[in-house]
Amino acid sequence: MSVLPYRLVLSPRLAVPRWLRAATLVGGIAFGLICCAIFLIAFGVPAGDLANQFILYVFGNSAGLDQTLTRAISLTLVALSVALCLRIRFWNIGVEGQLWMGAIGATAVSFYHIGPWFLRMPLMIGAAAIGGAVWCGIAAVAKIRLRADEVITTLLLNYVAYLFAQDLLYGRWRNPTDQFPVSPTFPRYEQLPTFGGWHLHYGVFIALAATAFCWWLCRYSRFGLLSQAVAENRTASRALGIPVARITLTTACLAGAVSGLAGFSIVSGEEHKLTQFVGNDYIFPSIAIAYLGRANPVGVFIAAIAVAGLYTAGDSLKAFYQLPDTVVVTMEAFLLMTVAAFDVFIRYRIGLLRSQPKAIRAKAVPPAEARGTGA
């Protein structure tokens, strides 16, 4: 019934050599970039300009580097959030909502003048973390208590948080001076300082600290091992006395808090106010970065810078060739698709087998196939 003379046969690999893992990742990224290039050329970008766009504008000049690194701060944080959740096989597709809630929390502290000025920044950070943690915690509780699929709940909570922010911006928090849907600009002591004349701000330290913390958490704390156990087998974990529900909830809240910090870093470091566009376009990049970084905090950090570069390139593409916003997310999808597809080489040995006769009554049996050396 199969028409092809050969068929693909996958058999699971038992042990995977280190070089193969590296080669697969490199191959996947390379193939993904080729796909992106073909895609861009198809949409009218001259092939000769691609190298310029990708290298020169991204890392070659200080403006590009500034933009890339600034973007990498929030990307690192949201991707760490996804990566933490992936360790317990909890799909956090709700970083955008958590980021919004973090931004709302931080702005609330500013808007209602909570605490003296010198405590304002720590309070904003705390509020942002709590906002994010609560938002992700809701999905975790729904999963633990009601077995509601976290993929859907976290995703839909994005919309809820976004609409909540819009409600605030068009309502109570609307800037009284010009009636624009943005909150009043933060005073200086609520803004993260920047480096010299750059846009790059001290949020870098938050991203670095979060990366280091997550790295320690996964590598050296007992959580690292127990979360792996929970991810692998919940029933066995419970039987061995691992508090599965508590680990799930703690991880989700921690991850939400990290996303919330991204919200803080954007409102306090970049925008200096809550705007309508604070939390746009983070869902898929966070997943792509977490996956490209192999859910390893250090890997995530590196991948975040690379993907941030993609955005900088995307911005110049938008400016020069009138390509729409979604071009970047499409490129990310290409990259993740090829990297994930290349993973098949890690997981399986792939062989081509000659399609064989369906029934012995069929006369056309290739004798060489049936009789091996054993005959």
Partner 1 sequence: MSAAAEARRAETARPASTIAVRMAGVRKAFGERIALDGADLTVVWGEVHALLGENGAGKSSLMNILAGFYGADDGVVEVAGQPAAFAEPRAASAAGIGMIHQHFKLVGPLTVLENLRLACGPRAGWRSRDAALVAMAGMAKDLGFTIKPDARVDQLSVSEQQKVEILKVLLGGARILIMDEPTAVLAESEAAAMLQLARRLADDGRAVILITHKLRDVSATADRVTVMRAGRTVIAGAPARDVTSAELARAMVGGETDILRRGTAGPGETVALELRALSTAGAEHDVPLREISLTLHSGEILGIAGLGGNGQSELLEAIIGLRTPTHGDILLHGEPASAFPAARREHGLRFVPADRFRLGLFGSLTLAENLAVPALSGRQPERRYWVTRAWMRGRARRSISDYEIAGGTADTQARLLSGGNAQKLILAREFEGAFSVLVVHSPARGLDVRAAAAVQNRLLAAAARGVGVLMISEDLDEVLALSSRVAVLSHGRLSAAVAIEQTDRAELGRLILEGA
Partner 2 sequence: MNGFLADWAGAVPVFAAPFLLATTGLIINERAGVMNLGAEGIMAMGAVSAVIAMLSGSGLVAAILCACAAAVAITLLFALLAVVLRLEQVLSGLVIFAFGVGLSGVLGDSYANQPIKALGPVAPRIFAGLPHWLGRILDQDPLTYFAFVLPVLVWWVLERTELGLRLRAVGEDAPAADAAGVNVMRMRIGAVLSGGLVLGLAGAHLSLVGSQVWVNGMVSGRGWIAVALVTFSRWNTLRAIGAALLFGAVQAVIPLILSSGLNVPIYLIQMLPYVATIVVLGASGIGRTSLSAQPEDLARPFLREERR
* 113-132: burial string, b at 16+ Cβ within 10 Å, e else: eeeeeeebbebbbbbbbbbb
Q: Distance from CA of residue 75 to its chain's centroid? A: 7
**Which residues, 6 or more positions from 362, have their beta carbon under 8 angstroms from its beta carbon?**
none
Q: For partner 1, which is the closer residue by CB, 12 or 196? A: 12
β-sheet bridge partners, residue 350: 10
Only one of the segments 3-11, 37-45, 132-140, 171-179 lies at the binding site for partner 1 (rule: CB under 8 A); that segment is 3-11
With CB cut-offs between 5 and 8 Å by kind, which of partner 2, partner 1, none does residue 93 bind? partner 2
250 binds partner 1 (CB under 8 A): no
Q: Tokens standing for 253?
A: 């809240």
On whether the CB atoms of residues 103 and 70 are closer than 8 A, the answer is no
Counting residues that bind partner 2 (by CB under 8 A) gives: 53
185 binds partner 1 (CB under 8 A): no
Taking CB under 8 A as the rule, which mask of x and - marks residues 164-203 in contact with partner 2? x-xx--xx--------------------------------
On whether the CB atoms of residues 307 and 68 are closer than 8 A, the answer is no
How does DSSP classify residue 179?
-
Q: Tokens standing for 18?
A: 């280190």
Report in angstroms how near the CB of residue 98 gets to partner 1 at its nearest. 26
Q: Tokens standing for 265?
A: 């870093």
H or E element, residue 6 = strand 6-12
Q: Tokens standing for 79?
A: 């991707």
With CB cut-offs between 5 and 8 Å by kind, which of partner 1, partner 2, none does residue 113 bind? none
On whether the CB atoms of residues 282 and 158 are closer than 8 A, the answer is no
337 binds partner 2 (CB under 8 A): yes
41 binds partner 2 (CB under 8 A): no
Report in angstroms how near the CB of residue 367 gets to partner 1 at its nearest. 6
Q: For partner 2, which is the closer residue by CB, 25 or 148? A: 148
H or E element, residue 353 = strand 348-354
* CA–CA dist 373, 76 (Å, integer): 56
Q: For partner 1, which is the closer residue by CB, 7 or 113? A: 7
Q: For partner 2, which is the closer residue by CB, 29 or 142? A: 142
374 binds partner 1 (CB under 8 A): yes
Only one of the segments 42-50, 165-173, 238-246, 285-293 lies at the binding site for partner 1 (rule: CB under 8 A); that segment is 238-246
* CA–CA dist 171, 318 (Å, integer): 33
344 binds partner 2 (CB under 8 A): yes
Greatest Cα pair distance in the chain:
91
Closest CA to 186 of 254, 245, 103, 130: 103
Binding site for partner 1 (CB under 8 A): 7, 9, 11-15, 220-222, 224-226, 228-229, 232-233, 235-243, 349, 353, 355-361, 365, 367, 369-375
Binding site for partner 2 (CB under 8 A): 1, 8-12, 43, 91, 93, 142, 145-149, 151-153, 155-157, 159-160, 163-164, 166-167, 170-171, 284, 287-288, 291, 323-334, 336-337, 340-341, 343-344, 347-348
